[in-house]
């Protein structure tokens, strides 16, 4: 606090010092001016009361092939995501009243039996209860298709669109590295499924008809409840998309739609065009475009090709101002850079994966830079996914929510103590991050 005598002195000199309603001066400081722990303890229980919207998750049972359009290749997991993470025990106790104090194989069987019984029942109350225990009002279900065991009042479908970029012979892409050998055949499967859905037996003769087929699937998926389209394209190629003319993409289509292995140059050009078509359609149909923008699974994921800054020419292209972009996983580890893309009205940043990949002490640093810069553009997600027998989508929900609340209360306590905002403003910011910033992007749930 500035001493009253100093304030009077400044006033006498004609210096206006802004005072907030609670008497705190608006002058910020690098060092905390109050007890950060005390503010944290006041904020956390209030943050725990906020009903959450999870903007990115893949809910489902471990053996459900529709959970994702890709499988997990063999990889070296970071420390917190390993089966040995003892924090999972807290999740199991909170979610299932797990009666054991370890994660032994025998005790894991107790858990597997419960989930198998829930899956067999086909009822929606199992995953509803998981959301309830985590304080999640509703969650995105980013899946190939929705499951009947997910309640449509709580889970909102986000469907994949990458497969439209791989309609030709994918021999070269599949052989690029062991991860692609796992991923690309699954993309081919998704495309076949979309073709079947649209009643298309083989690739259409004309490129125009191929684009019309894409639109038909987007519109139909939206009618079926889809609220956004999702790219995980950074797993398969660079996030840099050039701007080729339609005639050039048409030429490539004519060359390979009936067979033949495309050269990398031809395939890239075709994909650059179709990607832009998909994001334009996302604007026209009011389907926000979700793009995986961070380090991904698998040891071969390319940080350089997947760097979110590759998307700068897309999200800053005035032709796409009508498209809402959600940069999934916040471009991690390039979090200091990505926040400046959120200056665009139509660009949002999602924090999923980061809270679970890192510890709250690191996630706090990420969140702080973001909430200090464009707080109204930051949205919460868990990336809940059946990663393993120990860390299923259920446990990831819990771990993501727990970590985000802990980091969020810490960041806001520091910001309040540094006089960057008031406690009331901190809670408004928390509600924005955990719920409001994301829900205003979508139509309300049908009743």
One-character DSSP codes across 83-118: TT-THHHHHHHHHH----SS--HHHHHHHHHHHHHH
H and E: helices and strands count for the chain: 17, 8
CB of 54 to Zn ion, least distance (A): 11
Which region among 130-138, 192-200, 273-281, 383-391 touches Zn ion (by CB under 5 A)? 383-391
CB of 142 to Zn ion, least distance (A): 6
User: What's the rounded Cα separation, in Å, for the pair 51 and 435?
Assistant: 7
Comparing CB distances to Zn ion, the nearer of 180 and 383 is 383
- Of residues 158, 115, 159, the one with CA closest to residue 139: 158
CB of 302 to Zn ion, least distance (A): 18
Which region among 242-250, 319-327, 377-385, 406-414 touches Zn ion (by CB under 5 A)? 377-385
CB of 77 to Zn ion, least distance (A): 15
Which region among 133-141, 203-211, 382-390, 419-427 touches Zn ion (by CB under 5 A)? 382-390
Comparing CB distances to Zn ion, the nearer of 54 and 383 is 383
CB of 240 to Zn ion, least distance (A): 21
- What 3-state DSSP class applies to 32? coil
Comparing CB distances to Zn ion, the nearer of 141 and 429 is 141
Question: 326 and 364 in contact (C-beta within 8 Å)?
Answer: no
CB of 397 to Zn ion, least distance (A): 13
Comparing CB distances to Zn ion, the nearer of 60 and 375 is 60
- What 3-state DSSP class applies to 17? coil
CB of 352 to Zn ion, least distance (A): 6
User: What's the rounded Cα separation, in Å, for the pair 137 and 55?
Assistant: 11
CB of 59 to Zn ion, least distance (A): 11
CB of 7 to Zn ion, least distance (A): 51
Task: Kindly identify the residues of this chain, within the stretch 237-256, that bind Zn ion according to CB under 5 A.
Answer: none
Binding to Zn ion by residue 162, rule CB under 5 A?
Answer: no
Binding to Zn ion by residue 395, rule CB under 5 A?
Answer: no
Token couple for 100? 């054991």
DSSP state of 197: H
Token couple for 442? 């979508």
**CB-based contacts of 12, cutoff 8 Å, min separation 6:** none
Say which residue the tokens 């007890």 belong to: 35
Give me the residues paired with residue 327 across strands: 291, 349
Which region among 7-15, 92-100, 150-158, 381-389 touches Zn ion (by CB under 5 A)? 381-389
Comparing CB distances to Zn ion, the nearer of 292 and 368 is 292
Comparing CB distances to Zn ion, the nearer of 131 and 326 is 326
The count of residues interacting with Zn ion (CB under 5 A) is 1
Task: Kindly identify the residues of this chain, within the stretch 50-89, that bind Zn ion according to CB under 5 A.
Answer: none
Question: 239 and 308 in contact (C-beta within 8 Å)?
Answer: yes
Which region among 152-160, 295-303, 309-317, 378-386 touches Zn ion (by CB under 5 A)? 378-386
- Dihedral angle computed from the Cα positions of residues 305, 311, 314 and 317, in that order, rounded to the nearest 10 degrees: -140
Closest-CB residue for Zn ion?
383
CB of 178 to Zn ion, least distance (A): 21
Cα 141–142–148 angle (5° rounding)?
Answer: 45
Neighbours of 89 (CB within 10 A): 16
User: What's the rounded Cα separation, in Å, for the pair 29 and 324?
Assistant: 35
Comparing CB distances to Zn ion, the nearer of 68 and 180 is 68
Binding to Zn ion by residue 383, rule CB under 5 A?
Answer: yes
User: What's the rounded Cα separation, in Å, for the pair 242 and 268?
Assistant: 9
Comparing CB distances to Zn ion, the nearer of 56 and 419 is 56
Comparing CB distances to Zn ion, the nearer of 69 and 217 is 69
Which region among 176-184, 187-195, 319-327, 375-383 touches Zn ion (by CB under 5 A)? 375-383
User: What's the rounded Cα separation, in Å, for the pair 211 and 165?
Assistant: 11
Comparing CB distances to Zn ion, the nearer of 68 and 266 is 68
Which region among 81-89, 106-114, 301-309, 376-384 touches Zn ion (by CB under 5 A)? 376-384
Token couple for 159? 């469907």
Q: Which residues bind Zn ion (CB under 5 A)?
A: 383
């Amino acid at each position: 606090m500035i001493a009253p005598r100093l304030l009077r002195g400044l006033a006498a000199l004609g210096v206006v010092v802004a005072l907030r309603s609670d008497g705190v001066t608006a002058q910020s400081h690098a060092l905390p001016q109050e007890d950060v722990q005390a503010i944290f303890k006041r904020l956390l229980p209030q943050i725990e009361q906020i009903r959450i919207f999870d903007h990115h998750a893949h809910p489902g049972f471990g053996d459900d092939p529709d959970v994702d359009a890709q499988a997990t290749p063999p990889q070296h997991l970071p420390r917190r995501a390993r089966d040995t993470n003892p924090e999972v025990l807290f999740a199991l106790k909170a979610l299932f009243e797990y009666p054991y104090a370890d994660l032994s194989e025998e005790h894991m069987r107790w858990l597997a039996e419960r989930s198998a019984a829930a899956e067999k029942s086909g009822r929606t109350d199992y995953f509803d209860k998981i959301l309830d225990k985590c304080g999640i009002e509703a969650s995105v279900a980013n899946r190939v298709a929705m499951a009947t065991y997910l309640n449509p009042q709580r889970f909102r479908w986000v469907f994949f669109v990458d497969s439209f970029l791989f309609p030709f012979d994918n021999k070269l892409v599949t052989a690029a590295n062991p991860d692609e050998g796992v991923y690309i055949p699954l993309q081919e499967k998704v495309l076949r499924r979309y073709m079947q859905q649209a009643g298309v037996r083989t690739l259409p003769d004309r490129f125009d008809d191929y684009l019309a087929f894409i639109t038909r699937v987007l519109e139909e998926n939206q009618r079926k409840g889809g609220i956004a389209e999702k790219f995980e394209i950074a797993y398969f190629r660079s996030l840099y998309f050039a701007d080729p003319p339609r005639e050039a993409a048409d030429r490539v289509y004519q060359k390979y739609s009936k067979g033949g292995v495309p050269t990398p140059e031809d395939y890239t050009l075709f994909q650059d065009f179709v990607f832009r078509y998909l994001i334009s359609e996302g604007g026209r149909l009011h389907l926000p475009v979700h793009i995986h923008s961070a380090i991904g699974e698998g040891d071969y994921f390319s940080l350089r090709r997947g760097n979110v800054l590759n998307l700068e020419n897309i999200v800053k292209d005035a032709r796409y101002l009508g498209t809402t972009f959600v940069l999934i996983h916040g471009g991690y580890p390039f979090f200091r850079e990505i926040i400046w893309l959120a200056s665009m009205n139509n660009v949002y940043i999602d924090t999923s994966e980061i809270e679970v990949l890192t510890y709250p002490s690191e996630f706090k640093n990420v969140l702080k830079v973001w909430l200090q810069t464009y707080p109204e553009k930051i949205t919460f997600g868990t990336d809940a996914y059946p990663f393993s027998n120990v860390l299923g989508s259920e446990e990831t929900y819990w771990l993501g929510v727990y970590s985000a609340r802990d980091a969020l209360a810490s960041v806001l306590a520091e910001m309040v103590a540094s006089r960057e905002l008031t406690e009331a403003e901190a809670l408004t910011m928390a509600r924005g991050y955990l719920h409001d910033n994301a829900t205003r992007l979508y139509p309300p749930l049908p009743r």
